[in-house]
Amino acid sequence: MTFPADHPTDPPAPWDPATPGLLRLPSGRLLRGRGLSRPLPPGPLPTFGLYLLGRPPAGIAWEHRWVRWPDFRLPADRADAADAFHEAWERATTERVELACAGGRGRTGTALACIAVLDGVPAAEAVGYVREHYSPHAVETPWQRKFVERLA
């Protein structure tokens, strides 16, 4: 299923529930996680993207925000990351929000788990929630798991 192009004055159409990489939070908010090393999935484009990379993303044609986050590590500025998670969570109520890193697992999974905590998932359960509902390989390192647990 594809959605018609959004008219500038209309609210964006929501993500199609069959969208690859889609995570439904307990509140019903939808977020798409993906790896930037793979081709852009078919269907509507995000209206906002949160990119978790060691350097700014190139070639992103929609509104986005970059969090400096080296591979297999934690965000360089944790306060900025927390603010970005809040922004993505808020925007997901009315927009198509995408989170992505290079592979779509470690940093993306960690950010999705942090946003799940904002949505009411207990911090101790957030990694399991994301692994069950997004990817069993999400959140790759012990320090990424601890980062999620300490978010609360």
Mean pLDDT of 54-73: 96
Give the model confidence (pLDDT) of 2-37 as tens digits: 344 444 556 788 899 899 999 999 999 999 999 999
CA distance 147 to 141: 10
Q: Which CATH class is domain 23-37+47-151?
A: alpha beta
- Give, as one character, the DSSP assignment of residue 132: H
Percent of the chain with pLDDT over 90: 86
Global pTM value: 0.92
State the residue for tokens 């986005």: 64
